[in-house]
Structure 1
Amino acid sequence: MDSRSRRRIGIAGAVAGVGAAGVGAAVGLRRLAVGRVRLRPDPDADEPFGTLRGEELTVLADDDLPLHVEIDGSDGAAADLTVVFCHGYTLAQDAWHYQRRDLRGLRMVFWDQRSHGRSGRDDPLHATIEQTGEDLYAVLTAAAPEGPVVLVGHSMGGMSIMALADRHPELFGGRVVGVALVNTSCGDLAELTLGLPLVLAKLVRPLAPRALRGLGRRADLVDRARGLGADLAFVVTRKMAFADKQVSPTVVDFLEQLIRATPIDVIAEFYPALAGHDKAAALEAMGRVPVLVLAGGKDRLTPAAHGRRIAEALPDAELVEVDEAGHVLPLEYPGVVTGGLRRLIARARPGREQPGHDESGRDEPGHGESGHNEERTA
């Protein structure tokens, strides 16, 4: 395999409009639009999102904050390798639903980042990427104390892995034998346009932290209002997080529920840490192991260029870019993510049988049994 092998995936379908103007225009017709979307055939309608559970473990961070951790395959199955999943900003471990479902047979660890999901509520001063890296170190120590580990991170979860590499580089090439970075960045997030014209983005960008801090100070009021605007939230989530217009309405609903469950003050507290994130130096440690980088061609939050930059800096990186995908590849094109993880594990542990692998060599489709995720190699 070429040490810098690259895949590009083309998915048929128009690209959904993203940006403040598009969202604003959708508000007036949201009930009609949402109704039409929800009437479509939905192969994921019966998917048991949020119900997959493992052996529960409470891990104390270095500041004694309780972190909620769950372990699948703790009965010793595939104990020669542990895969640790780190979710993204405003989400929780259940965002890895499809990977958790389809990689049964592996020993897997899932955890909720501080102030997210079922983990403890954080001191605002500790809402930093450096701290989430130390949290990941605590999770590894408690839930995967022995044997090789593959780390998988989406968005902020990928940044947590970079922070771990920055603070504990000795782990990489030793206990950590592989890394997957999904929809993430090693820095320069302060320059994002969020799909807006550059001139408008430059005007809006400085206002975002101040606006979020203001909302955070009225957290109770804002969170009550969020619960009332379900239709609007559906539209905004679909347009900002996904690019595939055929994405399952049930998947959109599930993602919106995860985001809504994250208090607005938590969102406000972590935003500056994301905007100021710069861990390019940490890539040197990760360069000691095989790395999978997955990017969405229509990702407005961590654009594909950020994934390309990471892959170019690593000597043994596979870059997979899904042309018409947004910021949540684990939910929008889960078969691409799961297939990539199988390849990564095969590179990290040659000769190891891959659980649930399709003997035809074709990765699982994206949703249900549709042919939604067929790959086209560039």
Structure 2
Amino acid sequence: MSVRGRVIGAVTVGVVGLAAAGAGVGVTRQRRRIQRRGGDEAPAFGSLRSEPTTVVADDGTPLHVEVDEPESPQSEVTVVFSHGYALEMDCWHFQREHLRGRTRAVFYDQRSHGRSGRSPMGNATIDQLGRDLLSVLDAVAPTGPVVLVGHSMGGMTIAALAELHPELFGDRVVGVALISTTAGGLDPSRILFPMVPSWGSSGAVHRGVSMLARSHRAVDGIRRLGKDVALVATAELAFGDDVPGSYVAFVDRMLSETPFEVVAEFFPGFSALDKFDAVGVLAKVPTVVICGTDDKLTSIGHSRKLTSRIAGARLVEAEGAGHMVILERSDDVNAELDRLLEEAE
């Protein structure tokens, strides 16, 4: 058997084996307990929509963009939201709901995510995401002040834009929020783990992610076999508190609907990320850095380091919250965005 075959076989055995073992130690019971949290009431995740538009990136990739135009604008600022790895624009549900009707807000799906088109091979990089963000700005916010808000990989997107076009900050960009993110020094297996919880930190498969992408359909099938394990892993790794089960299911759905081929294409860029020297330009504008103290994916240390590299930046530590602080502590995040908009004015 080839090396590739042995690796894929090991993954299959690992996933199925963990799923079976998990059932024996109560993973199914844990999943049921998670699903019962919060009762029958659940936010209508994915229901907030605006007329879609397509922005074509500089390499021809179509990006799905939606703009919420305010009924009674309270600010001239446009807020642009950039989401994280294996998520989509709907992850901003509570922020979109909070700003709707009073502030112009732009939401878009990163390339290869959600409703956006697939990236050409080799262009699924953080630097390309920075160029994509510029394409979105040029298309739907070509004039007027802009506040950028990025979560996880979306924050890295903003760092890439700062490196590529530092002249924008203090000019078109008048404020920045970096949420649960970093500019480098990341262990990629931490990010991969919730999507393939049985083997994400395995050294052998860590080295073979790109190889596995060639059999991505088989890997996607294997991921579905371990859906109970994946849901429990999402609850443990994406959140710090016992949030309602509908929150966990929503995040788990976004993760599971991201094809493994896409996961693999972006994966190498995280270990190579090193943009701490670029983020200093954010000192020209009001900047807030937000992170949960129980973030297991981009730990609080990353946010503290980011803050130390951006003179005047404000660090907000959400005690006990996890990586999906935008859902878990939405009221706190929304209050910080309101404060940032006031400062940006």
Using a 3 Å threshold, how does the CA distance of structure 1 residues 207 and 184 change in structure 2: closer, same or farther? farther
Cα distance in 2, alignment partners of residues 129 and 193 from structure 1:
17
Amino acid at match of 1:121: R
Cα distance in 1, alignment partners of residues 190 and 264 from structure 2:
19
- Count of residues in Structure 1 that have an aligned counterpart in Structure 2: 319
Give the Å deviation of 1:23: 9.8
Aligned-residue Cα RMSD (Å) equals: 2.3
- Quick check: 1:71 aligned with 2:67? yes
Query: Percent identity between the aligned chains?
Result: 45
Amino acid at match of 1:30: V
- Aligned 1:204-215 pairs, distance under 5 A: 204=201, 206-207=203-204, 209-215=206-212
The question of whether the paired residues in 2 share the 8 Å contact of 1:26 and 1:235 is answered with no
- Aligned 1:327-346 pairs, distance under 5 A: 327-346=323-342
The question of whether the paired residues in 2 share the 8 Å contact of 1:185 and 1:302 is answered with yes
Task: Please point out which of 272, 275, 297 is paired with 1:276.
Answer: 272
Amino acid at match of 2:342: A
Q: TM-score when scaled to structure 1? A: 0.79
Structure 2 equivalent of residue 130 of structure 1? 127
The question of whether the paired residues in 2 share the 8 Å contact of 1:209 and 1:268 is answered with no
Cα distance in 2, alignment partners of residues 27 and 148 from structure 1:
53
The question of whether the paired residues in 2 share the 8 Å contact of 1:209 and 1:271 is answered with no
- Quick check: 1:310 aligned with 2:303? no
Cα distance in 2, alignment partners of residues 296 and 208 from structure 1:
29
The question of whether the paired residues in 2 share the 8 Å contact of 1:114 and 1:121 is answered with yes
Cα distance in 2, alignment partners of residues 205 and 296 from structure 1:
26
Structure 2 equivalent of residue 258 of structure 1? 254
Amino acid at match of 1:328: M
Summarize deviations over 1:20-73 as a string: whole Å, max 9, x none. xx9997553111122223233337x33110111112110000001100000001
Structure 2 equivalent of residue 372 of structure 1? none
- Aligned 1:214-229 pairs, distance under 5 A: 214-229=211-226
Specify the SS of the correspondent of 1:139: helix
Cα distance in 2, alignment partners of residues 229 and 291 from structure 1:
40
Structure 1 equivalent of residue 317 of structure 2? 321
Using a 3 Å threshold, how does the CA distance of structure 1 residues 346 and 27 change in structure 2: closer, same or farther? farther
Structure 2 equivalent of residue 294 of structure 1? 290
Task: Please point out which of 52, 56, 62 is paired with 2:52.
Answer: 56
Please identify which structure carries the higher helix content.
Answer: 2
Greater RCO, CA 8 A, separation 6+: 1
Structure 1 equivalent of residue 164 of structure 2? 167
Structure 1 equivalent of residue 145 of structure 2? 148
Give the Å deviation of 1:224: 2.6
Specify the SS of the correspondent of 2:148: strand
The question of whether the paired residues in 1 share the 8 Å contact of 2:81 and 2:148 is answered with yes
Amino acid at match of 2:30: A
Amino acid at match of 1:345: L
Cα distance in 2, alignment partners of residues 347 and 190 from structure 1:
34
Task: Give ranges in structure 2 of 5+ residues lacking alignment.
Answer: 1-17, 194-199
The question of whether the paired residues in 2 share the 8 Å contact of 1:153 and 1:180 is answered with yes
Higher mean displacement: 213-222 or 109-118 = 213-222
Structure 1 equivalent of residue 110 of structure 2? 113
Summarize deviations over 1:183-240 as a string: whole Å, max 9, x none. 000111148878x9xxxxxx95754542422331211122233334332221111111
Cα distance in 2, alignment partners of residues 130 and 182 from structure 1:
19
Using a 3 Å threshold, how does the CA distance of structure 1 residues 284 and 37 change in structure 2: closer, same or farther? closer
Task: Please point out which of 35, 39, 58 is paired with 2:36.
Answer: 39
